[in-house]
Chain A
């Protein structure tokens, strides 16, 4: 046991999961991760807390929890197989560990523990908000203890599945002896599995759902049915302690049996796979070995980047194939999901959202945002080459830019068909989207120059476990979300909106270029040097940083909580009615446009949300059965609901938690509006 703990500690410390450059930079990275994920987790928790009464009323709390657990387990299998292969077979320490006088199952168990720790992060992102939200609403001490046990145990079975598949493939598949081939095939399998699960979830449909269930057709119910073990886990948490303990014991026994089976199998086959891998020989070919013609340094650098991208499986999968596959795939999936919604095929709003989506998908390939990180331990080479840093940066930018522009084309063409875009919007999408993509490729590369992740053993870490991609996407949402809001707030017309978006993105491009080619070279010169010791931050500096982060995180969480729990604010004047709710949601109409106002205790079923909905709380535009599309602002599922029907066929439905407030508003409208 002592050896197992020592080995696990060593593997943790040397694993890429817990290191990202110097200490100061690592702390900064952790702060950024916390700043990005904490508000998301807080917002999800708040949303689920709101949804709890509706879920409880429909007896769907368990189903929702089981669905979350199944989704987490599916994510752990899809994303974990890559990590398991790397950790068990391709990490630098594997051969060295095998030469130590310790049994192979001990090595395997320590590596299993390291992979499981990585899985906990995924689990926390998907399951933790649900567990916390339901616990805060209605949790007993037993609920919290059982939840902790389940949370600690849940990643074991998905990790066992990944491990067993890896061990069998490596022990018996000669095809898989080639390290690159393994990474490529397992990556492709991962993508196929992710798409497969998505399709399976959609096609299973309501067949598993009892008819008449209030949330029939939901993803959660299908998910729970796909992974029966989660049912034992959920029953263990939600049942009364007498029966809950039995379910919990069943869940623990199944998990423990799975781990035991894996260790048994691993003891017999792990060594065979590793030895086979070390005995494999390089696939040597006699290729044409004539020197290439002379090229300009930036072109030669870009070509070297391109060759590395195409020949490294992790880069090929994430950066190159991702650029070709994801945009059309996502557009198709999105188009399929939103097929019932009326699509704004033209107009400035459609254009600004299109530019945001185009830029988001165009930079999803991460080629520019990881260009320096991919150099890893070779980053110092840039320092002794007699080529100006500006030229080197140009060479680094080129492959990512070309990949992003390819993605833009592959996204816009199907989008034009599915979203019925008109010619002008499509043209603007190409031009403005292209400008935005160029700007964010430059910003992505700049971020990677400032925070390069150079300390890795496995190339996957450079592109998949690199925070810079998250920082870039966060920046995209902020910088491209702003014009979406402005176009809406300023009520710009089509041409004015397009001109505004073009100018905005050109300004962004100019700023990005100034940053990258102005500040970039000096920073690149500094960052690619051999590791320099990080300056130890003083206690006061550390305290200020911690306090600042805590204040920011709290403020973000409070803002998000307020946004998700805000009620509609209605202002009635003799001229008109103005309803505002949350950030940027609301509508306004003149009193003379009102056709009818009445109260009813029933709200017909709604669908096709564009806005916010959690349980009975709804804010935004919805399809309301029998009425068509209109605005719904409800705080509770209980009546009375105030119906405001307009002469043009539009409508608004409102209610408040306090029925007296709803009745009061009805009275006020009756005074001004139609009788």
Chain B
């Protein structure tokens, strides 16, 4: 029947199709697909479609369409029926079949946007470019003041991979509609497709100002901007007037490009109002989620300064602590605490305070705060506070108080805590036994186990003191202590000297580091630390401008220790020294 229709000329075919559709409404009985009982055509169509009975579903959708067309007022029903027919015929590999049906609908409703968009999709899918253009012209003539025909045609051309053609159509739209503001998103998409990034930024700026829901689309589009063109995008989005949406878009882009601080700078410069503050809050949450703690701290602090709110202040304090700024965390916590009751303060801020005070080595004050707030604490919070308090005492160098807190909190079955305490006491047997079973591993634990594995000595107070100095972040003291005990723990001496050397490098006393590395080379020539010593001495010599000396050490490492894990680093340093790989790398 559709084949017959296709052979008939235009208007006649459409009229006939319409009459056939209408007549078929009476001949097709709408029945429950499962039971055979009569039901409404839409339910039947959906049930058939769900069950994969596409021919039957098409029949039901046509019933629905005919009824809706006869009614003449239910645009929703027409849209449902047309979209349903498009789906099921596509599934049944009969995509073309939708064309005459849509034409029948368009005869009655020439500017129906759903019917037109389906028509565009069908014609573009069938590569009927001439018919597609004719359909666009017909829609444009039917709705000369509307942007919809232009928009749909442009989108179709874009989907067909013809951005230059779409660009031409947009230029015509601009003349026809007296401006392209309504088509800003299409302009932007085409500009981005054609990699005209400056134009794309302008168009997206316009688009998100008119249609804020397009912000995500703008982000996806502009995030492809190559590095060399990003400055122009930044300039456009920061242009006056100072509007929130373009700056929020830039903030997201900067974060996507790997610089959340630049993102915050863009957003922070937006004129402040409620919407801006909400945007700041969302940005702060994203910064937290990505671990950009110093940015998160700045965001929450800025919010807290504008709107002093206890929850925001606590968040700012927590972010400052995570960013490694305990003094700032304390200051923020103090301000936030002023907005809370004593109980609230204990329950929501005490943990931050104890951790911050511990990091600052103020264990006595941390303990006092816990004691003062004791009446507001439950058992669970008390237990949670024990760990930072133990850390605080250790940081302060008071192992006995740390042990006491751990004992009170029932942490003596925790291998890690007890292992570390044993090590600080110089009980190497207990430390070895406990630490090897520790649930979590970090760099400090790995270093400790490496030293413990290199000696059979059972008790060594000096080693405990050295490790404790390190725990107290008294690195200079730790460097000296590790080096000093090397002689008394001969089997672990190269490991201890290497530890001293690494710590000395961290503290910026590279001369000391080189001295320790050289000791390893001269006194422990067969130690496993020798390749690392060669590498570090070479690096030090290079820093001092002794290129020949550095080269000789790198080469010695590569030739004499070809199996060392340091070989890739040494080879890379040598390549760089010889200018054979880019300096930036």
Chain A complexes with chain B: no
Task: Give the B-binding residues of A (Cβ under 8 A).
Answer: none
Task: Give the A-binding residues of B (Cβ under 8 A).
Answer: none
